[in-house]
Structure 1
Amino acid sequence: MASDLSKLGDKLVLRGLMFHGYHGVKQEEKKLGQKFLIDVDAWMDLRTPGHTDNMADTVSYTSIYRIVKNIVEGPSQNLLESVAQLIATTTLNNHSEIAAVRVVVGKPHVAVPGPLDYLGVEIIRYRSTDMPV
């Protein structure tokens, strides 16, 4: 998969987005919520905006940020996989210029016996004419 992504070339990068959400299978998670860390890579051709220096030729980071914020701060999901899938499909559905998206959803506060940065999931979704996102 990584070799496929390298062939896609340019990408928009959003790192370390932090939101309070209510995702998880435990009642405490749904009631109290917790912090979630999100990274997004969105592959698209950036040559035109690189030459024109025109915002109309690219996708705004703010637009992707709002998608992530609305989903993470929105209705509760049981699984991080569902949160990541919603972010990926919404991003692809809202921005036809994006060929693929990588989403990492991390939970830094989990009940495990040891230090960690976060636990989470990473998904990659491609725009394809023969496969729904």
Structure 2
Amino acid sequence: MDTEFLMRDKLVLRGLMFHGFHGVLEEEKKLGQKFLVDIDAYLELQKAGDTDNLDDSVSYADIYNLAREVVEGPSFNLLESVATKIVKDIFASYRQISAVRVRVGKPHVAVKGPVEYLGVEIYRSRTNMK
């Protein structure tokens, strides 16, 4: 994995909560459940910091709305597919974003024992997208 991204500028969205209908169980698709989403969107932020102009960055609200549309939209079986769709939509909408890290979690899962959530985390850069 390319770890150079760890030292780069990024927009940070944490603790996004949405109700969606993803999962392999019939009950998940019928009743839905809460999903937690975290996003890091990597892009150059120096110009925005110098100009204090949103046109030189990307609106957090726009990324939030994009994630909401994916999670609250059509059902997927796997969280991997939900996360990948969020990444692909971000790349399609914002050319200035060079890489994205997305975490999608389910706090209400059918496991024996207490958990905060179970989920997936993916990192994709434009150069490693298929």
Q: Report if TM-score (shorter chain) is over 0.5.
A: yes
CA deviation string 1:44-94 (max 9, x = no partner): 010000000001110000110011000000000000000000001110111
Matches within 5 A, 1:61-76: 61-76=60-75
Deviation, structure 1 residue 2:
6.0
Aligned residue for 1:55? 54
Distance 2:117 2:61 in 1: 25
**1-side partners of 2:89 and 2:59: how far apart?**
15
Query: In structure 2, what is the equivalent of residue 88 of structure 1?
Result: 87
1:132, 1:43 → 2: CA distance? Answer: 15
Name the amino acid aligned to 1:5. F
Distance 1:22 1:46 in 2: 35
Instruction: Map 1:104-115 to 2 at 5 A.
Output: 104-115=103-114
Instruction: State the TM-score, normalized to the length of structure 2.
Output: 0.96
The count of aligned residue pairs is: 130
2: CA distance, partners of 1:40 / 1:132:
17
* Counterparts of 2:87 and 2:47, CA distance in 1: 24
Q: Does 1:15 align with 2:14?
A: yes
After superposition, give the CA deviation of every residue in 1:6-46 in whole Å (9 maximum; x if it has no partner): 24x10000000000000000010000000000000000010
What is the SS of the residue equivalent to 1:116?
coil
Alpha-carbon distance between aligned partners in 2 of 1:69 and 1:37, rounded to the nearest angstrom: 11
Q: Which residue of 1 aligns with 2:3?
A: 3
Measure how far apart 1:4 and its partner are.
Answer: 2.3
Equivalence for 1:33: 32
Q: What is the SS of the residue equivalent to 1:76?
A: coil
Q: Distance in 1 between matches of 2:21 and 2:3?
A: 35
Over the matched positions of the two proteins, sequence identity in percent amounts to 58
Amino acid at match of 1:112: V
The residue type paired with residue 118 of structure 2 is: L
Structure 2: runs of 5 or more not aligned: none
Q: Which runs of 4+ in 1 moved over 6 A?
A: none
Q: Hey, what's the Cα distance between the residues in 1 that align with 2:18 and 2:129?
A: 28
Q: What stretches of structure 1 of length at least 5 have no aligned partner? A: none
Q: Structure 1 CA distance, aligned partners of 2:98 and 2:50?
A: 20
